[in-house]
Amino acid sequence: MTIENFDLYTWFERDRAHVELRNKETDETLIEFWDNEVGEMVKDGFLDPGDWKESLWDYAKYLGIITETKNKKGK
């Protein structure tokens, strides 16, 4: 599994916030955060609003939810 296998979904409105990585093939959520969790994760340095996808991916690896594999080209 690589980051290319996942899509980023975000939603922000008034006092609501949502960031999520979802598997493109299965439509299953890998990791997501809602509302105050989003702000806390940014404040704690785990999520980067400038790069939600990469920081969510890195946090999922940190938690052991996924292990990154190389793609067919060895990258």
**What pLDDT digit, counting tens, does each position of 19-54 carry?**
999 999 999 999 999 999 999 999 999 999 999 999
List C-alpha distances in Å: 71 to 1, 7, 42, 45, 57.
8, 17, 29, 28, 16
* Number of domains making up the chain: 1
Structure tokens at 62: 């940190």
Q: Residue 46 belongs to what domain range?
A: 3-63
Residue 39 in any domain: the answer is yes
Residue 35 in any domain: the answer is yes
Q: Is the pLDDT of residue 74 over 60?
A: no
pTM confidence score: 0.84
Q: Is the pLDDT of residue 18 over 80?
A: yes
Residue 26 in any domain: the answer is yes
Q: Is the pLDDT of residue 71 over 60?
A: no
Of residues 49 and 1, more confidently modeled: 49
The DSSP-derived string for 6-64 is: EEEEEEEETTEEEEEEEETTT--EEEEEETHHHHHHHHTTS--TT-HHHHHHHHHHHHT
Cα four-point dihedral sign 49, 54, 60, 64: negative
Residue 48 in any domain: the answer is yes
Residue 71 in any domain: the answer is no
Residue 34 in any domain: the answer is yes
Q: Average pLDDT, whole number, for the chain?
A: 92
